[in-house]
Chain A
Amino acid sequence: MPPNDKPYIEIVADRCKGCELCVSVCPKDCIELDTGAVNVKGVNPAKYVGGCVGCGSCVQVCPDVCIELYKEEKAKKSA
């Protein structure tokens, strides 16, 4: 885990099906398919390459719920 306070994401590579939806919605192009790796499903999983701004679009769109977003929690908490 990076020890700075910038937002970042973690991807559970073995649950990724390589659908590329996260790649298509990321406004900062900080996710790409890892062509150098193959996961248990036999696909190239998504890989975080840095530059996350914490918008959470990838988390919203991931159908396999394999992206976790880490960022400073705001004081306001909505139910």
Chain B
Amino acid sequence: MQTTKSHPKSLFPVSTHYCAGCGHGIVHRMIAETFDELGIQDRTIGVAPVGCSVLMYNYIDVDTIEAAHGRAPATATGLKRVRPDCIVFTYQGDGDLASIGTAEIIHAANRGENFTTVFINNAIYGMTGGQMAPTTLIGQKTETSPYGRKSENEGYPLRACEMLATLEAPYYIERVSVATPAKIRKAKKAIFKAFKYQVEGRGFTFVEVVSTCPTNWGMSPTDAMKWSEEYMEKAFPLGVFRDRGAEKDKTETGADK
């Protein structure tokens, strides 16, 4: 009898400060498992965002730098250029990446910087108490859109994957979800692939995770998962937007035949 699923080595066995049922914990575990599997824990540097996951370094056992709000991709760019042997990743929420840090992520992606970004999209500003984010769905009620977000007033939800997929440089872009165990398994594969590409030095990799915020959505964790599946995944369709690795494999195998 052996344990087949145990606590990842790269994750501290501590209790997190996240609310009950928060998707951050699931994504932290997947990232830590990826480090264990690739054996890169000792040479990985994380860049934490401003948001709920600002205390990421208390949970993921790798060196971590805290960047100014939204500037994680710029910090990661510098890190990766100075220490190309290190594995660099940024972990950003939608308040960090999609609003104040939009310029940084677009230009880092456009330069094809060789680091990985994990983008947690829960359609709300979690840490500050549930205000409207750029990714908030049309009609969704938040603290600052109490009658629901209206497109004529506040615009439409910002789709980061689609936006970055218009650029030439990014190597891998995928949107995944953590709403069900099956989707979590897929998400794990996507995160693993993104870090694997970085280890191989292929280029900029980006994984967006459609997550939940039970507290600020005003739902139980179980209902939040259902809501995420029903509404979030409609506004933010899951899928691979760019995978140069798979394209390359395809042309290579095609050429072999």
Chain B neighbourhood of A60, CB < 8 A? 26, 181, 184-185
Asked if residues B180 and A63 are in contact (CB atoms below 8 Å), the reply is no
Query: Shortest Cβ distance from A27 into chain B, in angstroms?
Result: 10
**How far, in Å, is A71 (CB) from chain B's closest CB?**
5
Q: Could you say which residues of chain A place their CB within 8 Å of the CB of B2?
A: 70-73
In the bound assembly, the distance between CA atoms of A4 and B65 in angstroms comes to: 46
- Identify which of residues 1-59 in chain B touch chain A, using a CB-to-CB cut-off of 8 Å: 1-8, 11, 13-16, 18-26, 28-29, 37
B interface residues, tally (CB under 8 Å): 35
Is B220 on the interface with A (CB-CB < 8 A)? yes
B residues in contact with A71, CB < 8 Å? 1-2, 4
Q: Interface residues of A: mostly helix, strand, loop or mixed?
A: loop
- Given the interface pairs A15-B15, A63-B23, A63-B25, the reply to whether A21 lies near B221 with Cβ below 8 Å is yes
Chain B positions within 8 Å of A14 at CB level = 15
Is B3 touching A70 in the complex (CB atoms < 8 A)? yes
Q: For B178, list chain A residues within 8 Å (CB).
A: 61
For chain A, the bracket of interface size reads 20 to 34
Q: Is B222 an interface residue (CB 8 A)?
A: yes
Distance A68 CA – B1 CA, assembled complex (angstroms): 13
Enumerate chain A residues within 8 angstroms of B11, measured Cβ to Cβ. 65
Q: Are B222 and A24 in contact (CB under 8 A)?
A: yes
Pairwise interchain contact A20-B7, C-beta atoms closer than 8 A: no
- Inter-subunit contact A65/B29 (CB<8 Å): yes
* Complex alpha-carbon distance, A62 and B11, angstroms: 14
A28 interface contact, C-beta 8 A: no
Asked if B161 is an interface residue, CB under 8 A from chain A, the answer is no
Are B184 and A19 interface neighbours, CB within 8 A?
A: no
A75 within 8 A of B: no
Chain A hits for B16, CB < 8 A: 63-64
Rounded to whole angstroms, the CA-CA distance of A73 and B23 in the bound complex is 28
State A16–B151 Cα separation when bound (angstroms).
Answer: 40
- A residues 31-55 with Cβ under 8 Å of B? 41, 43, 54-55
Residue numbers in A under 8 Å from B1 (CB-CB):
5, 70-72
Are A64 and B15 within 8 A (Cβ)?
yes
- Chain B residues contacting A24 (CB-CB under 8 Å) are 222, 225
Give Cα distance in the complex from A42 to B180, angstroms: 27
Q: How far is the CB of A41 from chain B (nearest CB, A)?
A: 7
Closest-CB distance, B188 to chain A (whole angstroms): 8
The answer, yes or no, to whether A25 is at the interface (CB within 8 Å) is yes
B5–A61 contact, CB under 8 A? no
B15 touching A41, Cβ below 8 Å: yes
Q: In this assembly, does A11 line the interface, its C-beta being within 8 Å of a C-beta of chain B?
A: no
Q: Which residues of A contact B221 (CB under 8 A)?
A: 19-21
Distance (Å) between the CB of A54 and the closest chain B CB?
Answer: 8
Q: A interface vs B, CB < 8 Å?
A: 5, 12, 14-15, 17-21, 24-25, 41, 43, 54-57, 59-65, 67-73, 79
